[in-house]
Amino acid sequence: MAEIALPPIQKKFYMSEIEYNAVSERNRIIAHKYIDSLSNGTRKLSASTITYNSRIMGFALRNVKSDFNSLTVEDIDDFIYAVSNWVREKDGKPVADSTKKQYYIGFKRFLYWYGKRYKDKKADYRDLAELIEVSGKAEPKSVDDLLTDAEIKQMLLATEQFRDSHRNKALIAVLAESGCRIGELVGCNIKDLVEINRDMYRLTLPDGKTGTRTIILCSSKPYIREYLRHGHPSPENPESPLWVAKLRGKFSQMRYFTIYTVIRKAAKAAGINKRVHPHLFRHTAATRLISSGLSAPRVKNILGWAPNSVMTSVYVHLDDTDKIAASEELNGIVDKKVNAKGLEVGKCPNCWETVPATSIYCFNCGCGLTEATKQVDNTIIEALTTYFAQNPDMQDSLMKNILNLAQK
**CA dihedral of 129, 133, 136, 137, whole degrees rounded to 10:** -150
Average pLDDT along the chain: 78
Instruction: Give the single-character DSSP code of 94.
Output: B
Instruction: Give the single-character DSSP code of 193.
Output: E
Answer for the pair 259, 171: CB distance below 8 angstroms, yes or no: yes
**Range in 99-108, 177-186, 372-381 the model is least confident about:** 372-381
Rg (CA), the chain: 26
Q: What is the pLDDT of residue 340?
A: 44
Looking at domain 143-330, which CATH architecture does it have? Orthogonal Bundle (1.10)
291/295 Cα distance (integer angstroms): 10
What are 10-65's pLDDT values in tens digits?
Answer: 555 556 667 666 678 888 889 888 988 887 765 667 777 888 888 899 899 888 88
What are 118-163's pLDDT values in tens digits?
Answer: 877 778 888 888 888 886 554 545 667 789 989 999 999 999 888 8
Q: What is the mean pLDDT of residues 170-188?
A: 89
CB neighbours of 369 closer than 8 A, spacing ≥ 6? Answer: 346, 348, 349, 355, 359, 360, 361, 362
List phi, psi (to 5°) of 213: -145, 170
Q: What is the pLDDT of residue 344?
A: 64
Helices 392-407 and 371-390 cross at an angle (nearest 10°) of 120
Name the 3-class secondary structure at 356: strand
200, β-bridge pairs: 197
Answer for the pair 288, 270: CB distance below 8 angstroms, yes or no: no
Find, among 98, 76, 94, the residue nearest to 85 by Cα: 94
78/81 Cα distance (integer angstroms): 5
Higher pLDDT, 347 or 22: 347
Helices first, then strands: H and E counts in the chain? 16, 7
Say whether pTM exceeds 0.85: no
